């Protein structure tokens, strides 16, 4: 029984949280070796190697590009059939797109823009910054046995709002060698028609390096399994990547105003992602913590009974046993310090004084406030992005956004007088660093 494993632990110091937060982000050497071989093969041999791996891993006997690229007729068929087959889901998808577009449109309005200012003598020296969208982005969308339509929206919408004109998608086909009509419907709705039936490391390789008929991209975004993650790690530098995502995480900070049933439901919802997911409660009320454990036990049984085989009880129970902790401390300050140490992917604040606490949160990927803001809303519909840094990476990185599909160029424009006024200082730097050609490139402009 879960109640035999889940106990309320009093936080005495941050060492308890630090120990739980410590998790290896390394990838097994054998996986790196396998993925490295696939990437190098495709980089050197192009489509010949790509088709070999499509046959080996994707189940497609590809001999030409048309065998792995979605054709116009497939998009048209999906566009006609999916609204009839899944009317409720289509309506939900359209709502999600609307919310995501709204959120990311506000985001881009508040991101750094192109700007210039004048300085120097008579304001003849001009400095500035140009912000442009990436020219070509590659999106990896998990597929095959399990479909994640929300993953398409989270990657594609910010790319399009950022102004990326050229988007290529790779997604693994099902056992029939085809991509789900539902995914094709969403691609079509978003205006994305360059879609390839390729999964795994071979997909990342072809996006990073291209082939005879597939143009390489500037950046790759989208979640995947450990082989996809390893491939993204290996190609980084030749191409940009969004992040190296790990198992999902949720942390709840709760005071006496919180509802234990809501806390339990949100911990369970994260537990069904993966046996390595982390689910933590930090409560300043011991009764709330104890009742949350009772609710976890009750709800796991309830969901099992009502959803039968649709609920992966085995995974949830395994996760809760291994990666769920219920902490209690009367000190809200200690709970906040523990959060900033753990730097969770998802943070829920079920507290009365959330404004004060929010100001003290330094490290968290996505923050959900109040009893009626569950992580599941962010996973699907609210408009914020669900591609969020894990494994304490929220200390230095951010959720996927329009800024991931943009780049900046600095601009400098001197006239002769402005450069002459700073030439002596530049020469001093050049002399000290013994880069005399640098000095010459300044002085030559004043010899004529």
Q: Please identify every residue annotated as catalytic.
A: 345-346
Say if CB 22 and CB 217 are below 8 A apart: no
In which region does residue 247 sit, left (phi positive, over 0), alpha (psi from -120 to 50) or beta (all else)?
beta
Question: How far are the Cα atoms of 102, 247, 272, 390 from residue 143, in angstroms, in the given order?
Answer: 27, 18, 18, 22
Of 156, 141, 375, 208, nearest in space to 278 by CA: 375
Tokens in use for 67?
């065998």
Of 169, 177, 139, 142, nearest in space to 54 by CA: 177
Query: What does the buried/exposed string (b/e) look like for 417-444 if buried means 16 or more CB atoms within 10 Å of the residue's CB?
Result: ebbeeeeeeebeebeeeeeeeebeebee
Which residue is associated with the tokens 């709760």? 254
Tokens in use for 113?
């823009």
Pairwise CA distance, residues 299 & 447, whole Å: 82
């Amino acid at each position: 029984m879960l109640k035999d494993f889940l106990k309320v632990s009093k936080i005495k110091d941050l060492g308890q949280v630090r120990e739980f937060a410590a998790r290896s982000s390394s990838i097994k050497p054998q996986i790196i070796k396998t993925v490295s071989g696939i990437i190098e093969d495709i980089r050197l041999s192009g489509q010949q190697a790509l088709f070999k791996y499509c046959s080996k891993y994707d189940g497609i006997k590809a001999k030409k590009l048309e065998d792995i690229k979605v054709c116009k007729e497939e998009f048209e068929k999906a566009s006609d059939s999916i609204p009839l087959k899944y009317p409720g889901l289509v309506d939900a998808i359209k709502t999600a797109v609307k919310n995501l577009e709204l959120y990311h449109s506000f985001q881009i309005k508040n991101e750094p823009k192109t700007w210039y200012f004048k300085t120097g003598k008579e304001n003849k020296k001009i400095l500035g910054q140009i912000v442009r969208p990436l020219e070509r982005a590659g999106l990896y969308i998990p597929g095959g046995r399990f479909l994640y339509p929300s993953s398409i929206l989270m990657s594609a919408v910010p790319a399009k709002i950022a102004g990326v004109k050229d988007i290529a998608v790779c997604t693994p086909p099902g056992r029939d060698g085809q991509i789900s009509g539902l995914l094709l419907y969403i691609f079509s709705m978003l205006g994305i028609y360059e879609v390839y039936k390729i999964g795994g490391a071979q997909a990342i390789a072809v996006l990073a390096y291209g082939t005879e008929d597939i143009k390489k991209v500037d950046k790759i975004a989208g979640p995947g399994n450990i082989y996809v993650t390893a491939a993204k790690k290996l190609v980084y530098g030749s191409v940009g990547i969004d992040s190296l995502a790990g198992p999902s995480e949720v942390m709840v900070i709760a005071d006496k105003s919180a509802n234990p049933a809501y806390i339990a439901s949100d911990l369970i919802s994260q537990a069904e992602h993966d046996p390595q997911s982390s689910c933590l409660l930090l409560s300043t009320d011991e009764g709330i913590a104890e009742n949350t454990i009772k609710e976890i036990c009750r709800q796991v049984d309830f969901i099992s009974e009502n959803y039968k085989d649709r609920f992966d009880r085995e995974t949830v129970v395994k996760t809760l046993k291994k990666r769920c902790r219920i902490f209690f401390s009367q000190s809200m300050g200690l709970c906040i310090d523990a959060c900033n140490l753990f730097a969770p992917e998802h943070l829920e604040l079920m507290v009365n004084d959330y404004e004060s606490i929010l100001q003290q949160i330094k490290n968290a990927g996505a923050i959900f406030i109040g009893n009626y803001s569950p992580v599941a809303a962010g996973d699907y519909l609210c408009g914020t992005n669900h591609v969020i840094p894990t494994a304490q990476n929220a200390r230095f990185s951010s959720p996927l956004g329009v800024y991931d599909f943009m780049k900046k160029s600095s601009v400098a424009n001197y006239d002769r007088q402005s450069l002459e006024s700073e030439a002596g200082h530049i020469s001093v730097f050049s002399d000290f660093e013994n880069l005399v050609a640098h000095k010459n490139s300044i002085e030559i402009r004043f010899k004529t």
